Amino acid sequence: MDRWITILIQTSFGLAERFLPQLSNRMALWFFFRPIRAKRPSREEPVLRKARRARRPLRGYYKRSLAHYEAYEWGEGPPILFVHGWGGRGTQFYGMIERFVQEGYRAVAFDAPAHGDSPGTRTNLLEYGEIIRDLGKEYGEFQNVVAHSFGGVASIRALVLDQVSAQKLTIIGAPARMDSIFEGFSRQLRITDRSLQSIKGVLNELSSGDPEEFSLMTHLSKLRQPLLVLHDSDDRSVSVEEGRKIAEGSPQAEWVNTGGLGHNRILSDPTVTDRVLGFTKR
């Protein structure tokens, strides 16, 4: 997010919380389900041009004029699903996609609503799940589901709750619990817990009264697939301690702690790609 836009939003929240608390509640709810759509950098364009693209139908949870999402496919062979995080897009995995295709795999990715080239202005975890289920029906069993950040939460729910078929799961830079998501959102916009009440109310409705249903840790003990957990010590979006909690919470997990890559560059690091590829082949 642009620094000056961030400052403006933080200032607006501060004034609203002080003088118009009901307005600050509505503002928090508005921002929480609306990702910032980042411009696709030029380094991702080559892999995008090589993609076989499809517009796949999406029922979703919001009224939209165009009820679809963008899906991408590269290569032939056993399918690997790449699941981007909040504010991301499928082509963020460009380095991994190219390498996996070279190794004889079929790479599959998508842009969630309000992300990348997909239409819409808002989305939620349930829509991510709907997309993963849809692609699971299309491709059958994935050799590996490689998920970044918020996408890791959506992926483990899809494998455990929806029985999406996958041999393995790789989670990169993901939050372990809802509390960490709330903390990150509050820290970014400098809002108080009072303004989060409207968000928690909506999550209560979506989860039938238990927001922890949306926590990765809630489903970890029921995961049957081998798990690879990667997290960078310099991740400023999601603390590395979140990754440690996930790895420690799963007896079959393989833990990889990187350094100097942050939250996003870890996706294009060649050494990380080697670890994910090696894990997939084993």
Q: SS3 for 249?
A: coil
Q: What pLDDT, on the 0 to 100 scale, is given for residue 4?
A: 61
Which of 196, 213, 230 is a domain's end point? 213
CB atoms within 10 A of CB 222: 10
The reply to whether 37 falls in a domain is no
Q: What pLDDT, on the 0 to 100 scale, is given for residue 64?
A: 82
Q: What pLDDT, on the 0 to 100 scale, is given for residue 196?
A: 79
Nearest C-alpha neighbor of 89 from the set 145, 126, 48:
48
Rg (CA), the chain: 18
**What domain range is 276 assigned to?**
46-176+215-281
Whole-number Å distance between alpha carbons of 180 and 187? 10
Please list the pLDDT of the chain residue by residue as tens digits (282 residues). 556 666 677 677 666 666 666 777 778 878 888 898 888 999 999 999 999 999 999 998 888 877 899 999 999 999 999 999 999 999 999 999 999 999 999 999 999 999 999 999 999 999 999 999 999 999 999 999 999 999 999 999 999 999 999 999 999 999 999 888 888 777 777 777 777 777 888 888 887 778 888 999 999 999 999 999 999 999 999 999 999 999 999 988 999 999 999 999 999 999 999 999 999 999
Whole-number Å distance between alpha carbons of 158 and 227? 14
Same domain, 237 and 270: yes
- Residue with tokens 């609306």, as numbered in its chain: 34
Same domain, 154 and 275: yes
CA atoms within 13 A on the CB side of 270: 0
Whole-number Å distance between alpha carbons of 118 and 56? 10
Cβ-Cβ contacts under 8 Å for 210 (sequence gap 6 or more): 204
Looking up residue 87, the CATH number of its domain turns out to be 3.40.50.1820
Q: What pLDDT, on the 0 to 100 scale, is given for residue 25?
A: 76
Same domain, 243 and 124: yes
Q: What pLDDT, on the 0 to 100 scale, is given for residue 2?
A: 53
Whole-number Å distance between alpha carbons of 239 and 173? 8
Same domain, 143 and 186: no
Number of folded domains in the chain?
A: 2
Global confidence as pTM: 0.92
